[in-house]
Amino acid sequence: MNESSRRWNRWAWPVLSLALFALSVSSRWFQAAVAADRQGCVNVHGLEYATIVQAGMIFGLAVGPAIIRWARQAARVLMPEADATRRQQRINAVAALSIVLGMLTDIFWVVPQFNVYIDLHRPLLAEADVVLYGMGFFAGAGWAILLERQAWIGWLISLAMALMVIGSVLSTHSWC
């Protein structure tokens, strides 16, 4: 792979991530989500939130190699007496925790009353979008730490799980 191709790859994924985030928080998508929320539906909001999280994951995966280096350096500083294996175990534990915590909060985003509450409080709406993007970023970084070059498998797992939550029994009556 030549230098210009590497440079393009380095910037393409973060740009794609930010473009996907911008699309997800656009006014047209927001208006459709509010209209669906008024009817008690979570389909539009669920897809919007899943897209925001996936956009964050793409960014986390893109900067994964840098995060791996940073995490190893931080572990050396914070745990100077520990051997490399023990430090890597701690890094992996934190990475797995960030993935699990990010996935556990998905359940909130398919509750119609919660979505209406967020819609009615504009400052919370922006914060919710940034929090979702951040959750995706940390999950993507976690997958990069745990699976390194195969982190895309983790992204597929997370995507599948998000879509299962949206389409699950919890929201079968919320599709309009």
SS3 168: coil
Q: Write out pLDDT tens, residues 41-98.
A: 767 777 888 888 889 999 999 998 899 999 999 999 999 999 999 999 999 999 999 8
pTM of the predicted model, to two decimals?
A: 0.81
pLDDT at 5: 54
Buried b (16+ CB within 10 A) or exposed e, 16-52: ebeebbeebbeeebbebbbebbeeebbbbbbbbbbbb
Query: For 170, which DSSP code?
Result: G
Alpha-carbon distance 173 to 39, whole Å?
A: 11
Q: Quick one: how far is CA 41 from the chain centroid?
A: 22
Cα of first residue to Cα of last residue in the chain, in angstroms, is: 47
SS3 94: helix
pLDDT at 158: 83
54: which 2 tokens? 């996936």
pLDDT at 3: 59
Domain spans of the chain, in order of start: 3-34+42-173
